[in-house]
Structure 1
Amino acid sequence: MAEEILVVASKVKDYISGKGGRTSGELIEALSKKVQKKLDRALERAKENSRQTVMPYDL
């Protein structure tokens, strides 16, 4: 089963094109994987601190 995409592709593409850049076909999936890893680590940190709520500083 494919990983769930966690970013809005059209927003990412709009942002990059607004800065004069272009996106490759693999960018959205790669970015989504990075976001997932970051969120997984933030969740671990919250649990380590006996919280269920992930806070901005967990990032």
Structure 2
Amino acid sequence: MTEMVVVRSKIKEIAEGMNVAGDFAEHLNEEVVSLIKKSCERAKANKRSTIQARDL
């Protein structure tokens, strides 16, 4: 399992009164980690060591 980079309590805050399934945070975390990794690859391909919004 990947280390959590999303905060479960913040998900519930944003969901405003909705129930949040137990596996939602884990799947969201996987998506976020994937986005970060893809951004890193794009930045490296462009010879940068800083990921930026445009890498998303």
TM-score per shorter chain, which class? over 0.9
Q: Distance in 1 between matches of 2:39 and 2:3?
A: 18
Stretches of structure 2 lacking an aligned partner (at least 5 in a row): none
Stretches of structure 1 lacking an aligned partner (at least 5 in a row): none
Query: Aligned to 1:33, which of 23, 30, 34?
Result: 30
Identical positions, percent: 36
Could you give the per-residue CA deviations for residues 7-44 of structure 1, whole angstroms, max 9, x where no partner exists?
0110011111x1x4210000000000000001100000
Paired residues in the alignment total 56
Which residue identity does 2:11 align to in structure 1?
V
TM-score (norm 2): 0.93
Q: Distance in 2 between matches of 1:3 and 1:58?
A: 22
Q: What is residue 4 of structure 2 aligned with on the other side?
A: 5
TM-score (norm 1): 0.89
Instruction: Give 4+ residue runs of structure 1 displaced > 6 Å after superposition.
Output: none
Q: Distance in 2 between matches of 1:41 and 1:12?
A: 23
- Over the aligned positions, Cα root-mean-square deviation in angstroms equals 0.8
